[in-house]
Amino acid sequence: MSPHLQPTGTASHPKAGQPMSGAEIIVQVLADEGVDVIFGYSGGAILPTYDAVFVHNKDPKRSPMPLIVPANEQGAGFMAAGYARASGRVGVCIVTSGPGATNTITPVRDSMADSVPMVVICGQVPTGAIGTDAFQEAPVSALMGSVAKHVFLVTDPARLEATVRTAFEIARTGRPGPVVIDVPKDVQNWTGPFAGEGVLPLPGYRTRLRQLAARRLADADLAAFYAMLGQAERPLIYAGGGVIHGEAAAELRAFAGALGIPVVTTLMGIGAVDTTAAQSMRMLGMHGAAFANYAVDDCDFLVAVGARFDDRVAGDPQRFARKARHIAHIDIDASEINKVKRVDWSHVGEMREALSRLAAYAKTTGFARDWSPWHAHCAELKRTYAMNYDRDSALIQPYYVIEEINRLTNGEAIIATGVGQHQMWAAQYFDFREPRLWLTSGSMGTMGFGLPAAIGAQFANPKRLVIDIDGDASIRMNLGDLETVTTYDLPVKVVVLNNFGDGMVKQWQKLFFKGRLSASDKSLHKKDFVKAAQADGFPWVQRLERKEDVARVIADFVAFKGPAFLEVLIDPDAGVYPMVGPGQAYEDMITGDFIPSRSKVATRPPGASEMF
């Protein structure tokens, strides 16, 4: 074995010692990693690997890895991400060099921002041609290095096998993320012995992982936490996407349930607790429920779990959780502690272990508090400041459409979204009884995410109902993947809430730019979504235009067994409320005309340094 490699410690591989091409080695490692589907688009520099996938899938003795071909490489990346988000397993995307690689930059950055495990394998021009501006050459390492968790350029064929295996290790461990492997064509064509074991030496990374795994909450840490909790009259858990990625939803539910602490979640933490449970205060933040945001304002002890106090949640960090006497923070990433908001107690380590230790300590010590007045207060907040809209309008309201779908799916469907108003309406009005049912682009806010992510999720969960809730502007970004749905006969359901434009941008323009709809009004566009879906082979396609037809049509749509496409012409002036302006606190929250507010708030334009 090369001195640059180290064994995995596994039993001898049945194919160890067999001669294989680099491409065959890539495919064999994918099979060994349990990959059951690949998303990608072919091209010259990746042809050897695509041929190896073809041969693998034709061998009846091997478990197949279907190769799913989208409309473009961005769709492939988002499909792999949707697969990973819905399953918790590493998604795999294989693309060619040059534009194939550059088209995957957005899904790679999107996955990095939302901590999604993915391995992207890019073809590259032959080693000797790198740096010559050869046909379809792109500097993948330079481009991806700033947006991925890690990037490998394989120039030594003897290290290819270990590199691929190591990429999976990095993608799934610690704080998950995307790993990119750039493989020159001559490395794919090289032939050498398959070792069947071995990973690259990563002493620093693996040391940190071992340290994380070894970190346990000491009795002194637990006593300090419970000393603060014992003083609290209004404790609240603020749960983020780290709970989902850390597979810690069960432990969070057990901890919160045993102690009787209400829970708010971020956009990425939706599903960490059952949204129908009494303890759930649903989503907080810029477009969170008013009652969730008021609960944050009212709490006196905030426990942040797998959350990062980002600007969509803590627009004004100084005034976030302003009445909290103490704040605790648990995360796997030390860089998140005190990054935005100073905390009084913190623990860096694996989420499941930390939550289990906290729950066990309470049981062992007999810790118990009567927080019934706080529970009553939270229940009253939910009643008084409940989500609401104009239910008497003659126009179809998007909230009503989602409520009807939710009534039929009962919080058990996988919901993917694009980005914009429809994304926030879905987060606000859908129920989610389990984790990994909610798939959306959070930190990057990438339009066009919803449809390919739904396709990836359907491959990850073939028996689940998967619905893409999209907007007319967002779905245009990857509209070509309607054909991908029907090509593979996937029972994906697609809803387009059509308000003839970039709805969220229009809402901001109406609020902050005196109604000047610069580049956001698409009412003169001639796209016929129904004809587009029919042309792409959807067997069930309808346009919904009358409010009185909503319940009947949606029932038919959800019940249909195959691919279904529904366009709904919604009230073009429907807005997303509540809304907390950029850089503002929850006391500045705008609740609209149908949700009560604690105080009358004047709309203030964002400052020059404040974000969209």
403 is catalytic: no
Instruction: Please report where in the chains the tokens 């603060």 appear, as a residue.
Output: 228
- Give the active site residue among 136, 483, 512, 587: 136
The answer, as to whether pTM is greater than 0.85, is yes
- Give the active site residue among 39, 78, 185, 353: 185
Please report the pLDDT score of residue 11 as a whole number: 57
How large is the angle between the packed helices 105-113 and 73-87, nearest 10 degrees?
Answer: 20
- Give the active site residue among 73, 197, 353, 567: 73
- Give the active site residue among 135, 323, 594, 611: 135
CB 598 within 8 A of CB 306: no
Write the pLDDT tens digit of every residue in 246-291: 999 999 999 999 999 999 999 999 999 999 999 999 999 999 999 9
Write the pLDDT tens digit of every residue in 25-35: 999 999 999 99
| CA neighbor of 140 nearest in space, from 61, 46, 28, 65 | 46
Q: How many of the other CB atoms lie within 10 Å of CB of 606?
A: 16
Q: What is the helix (H) or strand (E) element at residue 453, kind and residue range?
A: helix 450-460
504 is catalytic: yes
135 is catalytic: yes
Fold of 398-569: Rossmann fold (3.40.50)
Mean pLDDT of 113-129: 98
Strands (E), 208-341: 235-239, 263-265, 280-283, 301-305, 326-331
Q: With pLDDT > 90 as the criterion, what percentage of the chain qualifies?
A: 95
Under the banding of pLDDT at 50, 70 and 90, the label for residue 3 is very low
Same fold yes or no, 216-384 and 398-569: yes
Fold of 19-211: Rossmann fold (3.40.50)
Tell me the domain boundaries of the chain: 19-211, 216-384, 398-569
185 is catalytic: yes
Mean pLDDT of 526-546: 98
Write the pLDDT tens digit of every residue in 57-96: 999 999 999 999 999 999 999 999 999 999 999 999 999 9
Per CATH, domain 216-384 is 3.20.20.60: no
Mean pLDDT of 481-509: 97
- Give the active site residue among 20, 118, 504, 579: 504
Which string of DSSP letters, residue by residue, matches 119-178? EEEEEE--GGGTTTT-TT---HHHHHHTTSSEEEE---GGGHHHHHHHHHHHHHSSS--E
| CA neighbor of 292 nearest in space, from 389, 421, 426, 387 | 387
